Structure 1
Amino acid sequence: MFYASISAYITKVCGISDNIFHLLKQKVQHISDNDKLVNMSLDEMSLMANLTYDSTSDTVIGFEDFRFARTAKIANSVLVIMINGIFLCFKQPLLYYFCKGTVGAMHLTAIFYEVVKRLKEIGLVVKTCVTDQGSNFVDWRKRLGITQDNPILVYEEQKIYFFYDTPHLFKSIRNNLFRYDIIHTSNDGLVGTASWKDISQLYSNDLHRKYKLAPKLTKKVVELPAFSKMKVGTAVRVLSHTVAAGIDTLVFCGSMPLSATGTSDFCQKVNDIFDIFNTYSVKGPVHLRNCIRSDSEHLDVLHVTKPWIHSWKFVGSDGKDYSLGIKCVKGLLSNICAFEMLAAEVLTGTKLYLFSCKINQDTL
């Protein structure tokens, strides 16, 4: 990890640090071209508004500060940009900006191009870019011409693939399943309905069992009290193979209605998609969590899954269709398209393998 050896050179001044880029240049000049491919993550987080005097720089810290434009507004959030290797194992925070609210699309564009340019000058190539689905990041992608079916930007003959953070997408899918029934149609034409009621029934059925079918389904995971909806960990416990198998078992035993298979099928397929976007081992017991190669089944699974995702309809308790307002579906389809294009470029005709877990915001 590069940041461990150069953290002492990070200044308290917002914006790009020449020291970091100078030391990164020395670190990367002897690595291979593939190892120079990096993922860039952009994320914002809230801060407690406060002003502090820094005697070393003789400045007051806490105002909105984009380095090239400092205002009198007191900042309440921070934008952080970090890179990590796609093939080489390293990560490095690059810069931060204090801001009032969110950073607008115009400022994001200027910051992004400047960072890509500086990285290219020292030999690093930005191949992927990851953000969440915050409204400012969605507007920024539109400004760059990024679309669901063509999530790619060509900058000075350099292709950059845009992703939404996959863990955030799956958290959003869980939250919408909690709120709506999801009607889905398989590629064979079979229609099923995923319902949170089936998950609650599985949990209730397990309450008095000594050996539970879904031991990770807890009251907090099922009822989702305050702040639980913000946690990815509670989402993957629901959209899992264990929950799918548990519901299927109760249906087989006659303890749940046959319609509950719509929920088990949904949980299993979403679980498989998450595994593909979270590969982290070379050879493990769960084959879809193993590294992705040009001839592996991961890309085939994603390809046949796209029509199924397109079929999702989100129906409320009032019977109305709320599908048009669901952003996570478009984000997931965009990610699949970006991943197929990325794999075609970097894996086809090579013996390289890819860990998809490196294309998310976990480093941040």
Structure 2
Amino acid sequence: MRRWNADVMLEPGLNKAILSRLGKKCRNFSRKERAVAICLDGMSIKPELVYNAKKDIFYGFPYTGTQKKIERNKTSILATEAIVIMVSGLGPLSPNKFKNDTASRSGRFKQAVGYMLAHHSLETTKQLNMITNAVQALKGRGLYPLVLILDQCTTNVKMIHEAGAIAEKPIIMIDSAEIAVFYDNPHLIKNTKSMLSKHNAVFKGKIASFSHIRQLYLKDQICVPRLVPKLTEKLINPRPFMAMNVAQATRTLSHSVAVGLEYYALSGDLPLSALTTASFVNFFDELFDTFNSKIDKSTAKLSRRSITQSSYHWEFLKEAKEILTNMHYTANTCFDEKFADRDSKN
């Protein structure tokens, strides 16, 4: 399909040709292999107006693929964001299915099926309508959409709330089907690192602080050999837009950083309060690995192993739910949990 896509004319909206091709490719899939996730993500684009003389059409205006092309457009309002809808398989495929095609290294297939162009942001009703059409189109081709994965931008949060999803039950109903809503793991770990760099966290009733990680770097950088070599100046004082980098967040909130904090705290080079920060870092490292797990066997970390009905992940997730429910942020100058609620930021 990847080679075939190169010859497909792409226009905003759901691409019927791609959906039709995807349906034919999935005819021999088992019921388990037909379970898919719908992924929604946006990216900024440079506003530009282009005229296609062959088709006598101007490109560059906001367009979802559903409006009439004869509508009047203002040249002062051009598309600044592209929102893409992708379909991804939830389970591994047999070796002979999608071979050398759209299958990823993990054995799951993924395929973009449409996109929309918006000025700054898309209206929640239009975005939800696009997702509804995607669910209906996929079900009509024999696939079973079970999960909607998106980031925490304002439009997405507002959209799922309007669709009826709540924290206690993150489910929306589309075309008589229950679709679970899931904020994607990379954005969550980036947001966690960003919040910790600006505020202290009240974690398990004690204070976790990014200042401890900064002290760890200053202490460890002069040691030979280094205990945490991947903790660099770029992670401690990131340049503009570096906060968007997932690798920067996972290297900061990593198991090796947690071990480094524990070692220097117990050796007396860091305050003992750094042990709480070590516990915070190790917890989110394990949480990230749990939601990103896909390896059947891993001798390094149990959390990286695939989730099964009997795996330890369920007990950990039960504990994680309680921890996250009680966790909140406070001012980065507060190091006494007794006064944390005074300036808390939930």
Give the TM-score taking structure 1 as reference length: 0.84
Alignment of 1:268-307 (within 5 A): 268-285=282-299, 286-307=301-322
Name the amino acid aligned to 1:289.
Answer: R
Paired position in structure 1 for 2:220: 206
Contact 1:44 1:102 in 2 (8 A): no
- Superposition map of 1:333-352 within 5 A: none
**Matched residue, 2:98:** none
Question: Which of 207, 223, 245 is residue 231 of structure 1 equivalent to?
Answer: 245
**Cα 1:179/1:56, change in 2 over 3 Å:** same
Deviations 1:242-283 (A, max 9, x none): 111111111121111111111001111111101101112111
Structure with the larger helix share:
1
* Residues 1-364 of structure 1: pairs in structure 2 closer than 5 A: 3-55=1-53, 57-69=55-67, 72=73, 73-87=77-91, 88=93, 89-185=108-204, 191-285=205-299, 286-317=301-332, 319=334, 320-324=342-346
Moved more, 314-323 or 126-135: 314-323
8 Å CA contact retained: 1:245, 1:264: yes
Question: C-alpha displacement at 1:55, in angstroms?
Answer: 4.5
2:217/2:231 contact within 8 Å kept: yes
SS in structure 2 opposite 1:74?
A: coil
Superposition deviation, residue 22 in structure 1: 1.5
User: For the Cα contact (< 8 Å) 2:147–2:181, is it kept in 1?
Assistant: yes
State whether residues 105 and 139 of structure 1, in contact with CA within 8 Å, keep that contact through their aligned partners in structure 2: yes
Cα distance, 1:48–1:289 mapped onto 2, change above 3 Å: same
Amino acid aligned to 1:323: K
Are the equivalent residues in 1 in contact too, given 2:209–2:332 (CA < 8 A)? Answer: no
**Contact 2:132/2:175, CA 8 A, preserved across alignment:** no
How far 1:101 moved relative to its partner?
1.1
Percent identical: 28
How far apart are residue 5 of structure 1 and its match? 4.1
SS of structure 1 residue aligned to 2:62: strand
1:9 Cα offset (Å): 4.7
Q: Work out whether residues 9 and 20 of structure 1, in 8 Å CA contact, stay in contact via their aligned partners in 2.
A: no
State the AA in 2 paired with 1:290.
Answer: R
Residue deviations 1:314-354 (CA, integer Å, cap 9, x gap):
11146553423xxxxxxxxxxxxxxxxxxxxxxxxxxxxxx
1:184 aligned partner, one-letter code: F
SS in 2 for 1:193: strand
1:297/1:317 Cα in 2 relative to 1: closer, same or farther (>3 Å)?
Answer: closer
SS at 1:64's partner residue?
Answer: coil
Say which SS state the counterpart of residue 323 (structure 1) adopts.
coil
Which amino acid in structure 2 is aligned with residue 252 of structure 1? L
SS of structure 1 residue aligned to 2:172: strand
Q: Deviations over 1:191-250 (max 9, x none)?
A: 321111110111011111111111110001011222222211111111111111111111
User: In structure 2, what is the Cα distance between the partners aligned to 1:121 and 1:54?
Assistant: 34
Inter-partner Cα distance in structure 2 for 1:165 and 1:287: 21
Aligned residues: 317
Structure-2 separation of matches of 1:8 and 1:234: 33
Give the whole-Å Cα distance in 1 for the aligned partners of 2:118 and 2:60. Answer: 9
TM-score (norm 2): 0.88
Say if 1:313 and 1:321, in contact at 8 Å, map to a contact too: no
- Matched residues in 1 for 2:303 and 2:344: separation? 32
Secondary structure of the 2:258 match is helix
Counterpart in 2 of 1:357?
A: none
Contiguous gaps of at least 5 residues in structure 2: 94-107, 335-341
Cα distance between partner residues in 2 of 1:36 and 1:66? 27
Q: Quote the residue 2:105 is aligned against.
A: none
Which consecutive residues of structure 1, in runs of 5 or more, have no partner in the other structure? 186-190, 325-364
